[in-house]
Amino acid sequence: MAWYSYKAVTAEGEVIEGELEANDRRAVVERLRSQGHVPIRAEERRRAGLLRRGRARRGAGISQGAVALLTRELSMLLQSGLPLDRALSILSTLSPQGPLRRLVDRLLDRVRGGASLAEALEAQGEVFPGFYSGMVRAGEAGGGLEVVLTRLAETLERAQALRESVKSALIYPILVVILAVGSLIVMMTLVIPQFRPLFEESGKALPLLTQVVIGVSDFVRDFWWALAVALVVLVVAVRRHNASPEGRLRWDRWLIGLPLLGDLLVKIEVARLARTLGTLLANQVNVLNAVSMTLGTLGNRAVGGALSEIRGRLTKGEGLAVPMAEAGVFPVLAVQLIQVGEESGQLDSMLLRVAEIYDDEVKRTIDRLLALLVPVIIIVLGLVIALMIGSILMAIMSSYDLSGL
């Protein structure tokens, strides 16, 4: 007998953690299920820390795009009538050498050892999203595993497409910012100092603007290390602040309160929330468990906190739309569509529709932000450089008495 640490979701949708004494991990899982709980994690207590670190290492090098492709291929093989172990064996053969093949091999070993696919997935730690194993368990119980995997693949592929579109859209403005900062550094540290001997030889007082520009140039050139240290200290301070739950919550609330950017972040979270929740409900996961699983997929603590409060009100028999409206975080359109879904009995399909709407909204918002951001960066850079050049010309004219010509 050994002690096992576990994490599970109750029938009321509450996430619980604790310890049980049992012969093995399977006994812990069976006991939790007999109590009406949905097991999320169960591991031997004295090895929990080591196992958690090992799982993190095992998941290294496997992208969510690879997980989506693996899910799609597995669903296709199962739809062809192959048994699960044979399908995993084929995927192992087709996968290139590396982390992905080792992942498939571990899944295959556990399945051949008598574990269900959901149990095999849970043993892989952070490789798969939090809701993944819950949906697979529902599919195995209902005899529709291949259908569930197809829906999971669609969910992961859409999420991956959204991430890729955001990354692609940010490449150009990031390059513009890098070039802008580089140009300013070159001007401050290399170009402007070349004019100092000329100004000193004239012996005349420089215009105020020129004095300011030269002073800033001297400071950047002489104390660049202090600026670098200050930047590092700022980054470390922000990371330490966000390391605590309270600090991260304050930071996330500040982010979603920013003009333009906050609206974009909320739309991204709403799209993710609606797609995950809709997919879970479509696979017969009850709303409380679905909301609990969805909580683990959200990146913003402020939105996650609002959803956690909504889950508490669901346990009291309330619906989803009214608490969402009163949370003050979610867009009005999303809340209204969810209310229509509840009233019509089509909440799952309406949530998926909300996800599609906000996926498109995110893309349009990013396009609008970029259309505004890039010209602003270029204009600001042009004005700063023009200011520097103007200050130099003013000093030259003053030094050689050209202003009176």
Q: Do 168 and 259 belong to one domain?
A: yes
Q: How confident is the model at residue 57 (pLDDT cuts 50, 70, 90)?
A: very low
Q: How confident is the model at residue 295 (pLDDT cuts 50, 70, 90)?
A: confident
The amino acid sitting at 189 is: T
Q: How confident is the model at residue 51 (pLDDT cuts 50, 70, 90)?
A: very low
Task: Identify the residue whose tokens are 């000193």.
Answer: 200
Q: Do 121 and 211 belong to one domain?
A: no
Distance CA 171, CA 102 (A): 33
The pLDDT tens digits for 20-46 are: 767 777 787 787 777 777 776 677 765
User: Would residue 142 count as lying in a domain?
Assistant: no
Per-residue pLDDT at 234: 93
Q: Name the range with the highest mean pLDDT among 1-15, 214-228, 290-304, 326-340.
A: 326-340
Nearest to 71 by CA among 154, 130, 5, 8: 154
Domain stop point among 41, 57, 73: 57
User: Would residue 144 count as lying in a domain?
Assistant: no
Q: Do 375 and 227 belong to one domain?
A: yes
- What CATH number is given to the structural domain containing 370? 1.20.81.30
Average model confidence (pLDDT) across the chain: 81
- Report which of residues 333 and 27 the model is more confident about: 333
Domain stop point among 128, 160, 183: 128
User: Would residue 138 count as lying in a domain?
Assistant: no
Cα separations (Å) of 201 from 62, 196, 339, 399? 64, 9, 77, 9
User: Would residue 332 count as lying in a domain?
Assistant: yes
User: Would residue 133 count as lying in a domain?
Assistant: no
Nearest to 365 by CA among 221, 290, 267, 222: 267
Average pLDDT estimate for 129-141? 76
Distance CA 36, CA 225 (A): 60
Helices (H), 187-300: 196-202, 208-222, 224-243, 245-256, 261-282, 287-295
Average pLDDT estimate for 300-310? 88
Q: Do 25 and 108 belong to one domain?
A: no
User: Does position 48 have pLDDT exceeding 50, yes or no?
Assistant: no
Per-residue pLDDT at 49: 42
How many independent structural domains does the chain possess? Answer: 3
Q: Do 96 and 166 belong to one domain?
A: no
Phi/psi of residue 71, each to 5°?
-65, -45
pTM score, two decimals?
0.65
User: Does position 314 have pLDDT exceeding 70, yes or no?
Assistant: yes
Q: Domain span at residue 173?
A: 150-405
